[in-house]
Amino acid sequence: MKQWQDSDLRKPGQMMHRELGKDSGLKVSAIGLGCMGMSEFYSPEEMNDIESIGVIHAYLNAGGNFLDTADMYGSGKNEELVGRAIVGRRDQVVLATKFGNMRGPKGEFLGVRGDREYVRTCCEASLKRLNVDHIDLYYQHRVDPKVPIEETIGAMAELVQEGKVRFLGMSEAAAETIDRAAKVHKIVALQSEYSLWTRDVESSILPMVRKHGIGFVAYSPLGRGFLSGQFKSFEDIPEGDYRRNSPRFQGENFDKNLALVEEIEAIAATKGVSPSQLAIAWVLARGEDIVPIPGTKRQKYLEANMAAIDIELSAAELERIEAIFPRDAAAGERYHEHGMKAVNL
């Protein structure tokens, strides 16, 4: 594997690309950049807008083009951050954002909405925060069980017709919902959690998106950082960090999951790569229609993540990883009880 130096990021045009949605023409870099943690949830004491914008610029300079944000990240602050970062570089970016999760004035979560009026209001607000005239990929962040998916996708389709949105996506939707949505308008991407320790989508959701020629965008491909090996004890999680309340980071679950990661670390060591790079390479190896979007606010981690594109896993290595991390190997739910009720709808 090529060893990267700080100044040795890939130049534009050298990054591998994948198409989201069969015959859609939407080409994105094979590794995207999740921007959520730049504004909320992870290691709050490390948040620095100037440094985060530097990371986004380094990603674009390396040939990456796929930026992921949402209106709920930092209650709109993340969209504003991304908007500032892409000034003068809009033509280099495939810009993805999401709507659906409602936040109150103090950041409190108020539920999910997917009605036509809300879809349109959210899109206008995102366009303003991002300071752009169109969104390349607009996702429904969570499905609203109170509103027929046909109404939500229909409203999103109107935005395409008006030129405010280029392509439509969904997030954490159930297979049946995806099937219904795809009959209303072309869906080019489904974004859901997917990694070695979250493989729920393999049973029915991946087969459904492939039936409809929908690309799959994998968020949290590093298991919220756990698969990187950076956490050796609960005390390693910073104060105020979302992960302190995540079931998989709690008590016996933490210990059981740490044992799994230690075995992944051993495989990575024999290959001369980091466990993070191995985890991203595994996601990339699951199919040419899958694009992982690891998030980071540090350039050194960005460089390491992007280097995963050069890692090839042999059949024997994949079998060894499968033996360690079969489906449902991770201990604990991936969200708390309230969060689990909002996924796979």
**What burial class does residue 159 get, using C-beta atoms within 10 Å of its C-beta: 0-12 exposed, 13-18 middle, 19+ buried?**
buried
Residue pair 33/68 in contact by the 8 Å Cβ criterion = yes
User: Which of the following is catalytic: 73, 118, 139, 194?
Assistant: 73
For helices 116-130 and 77-85, give the axis angle rounded to 10 degrees: 40
The DSSP line for 96-165 is EEEE-EEE-TTS-EEEE---HHHHHHHHHHHHHHHT-S-EEEEEESS--TTS-HHHHHHHHHHHHHTTSE
**73 catalytically annotated:** yes
Greatest alpha-carbon span in the chain: 54
At 72, is the secondary structure helix, strand, or coil?
Answer: coil
Structure tokens at 47: 């948040």
Strands 17-19 and 27-29: antiparallel
What beta strand segments (E) does 224-310 contain?
290-292
Whole-number Å distance between alpha carbons of 13 and 4: 17
Active site residues: 73
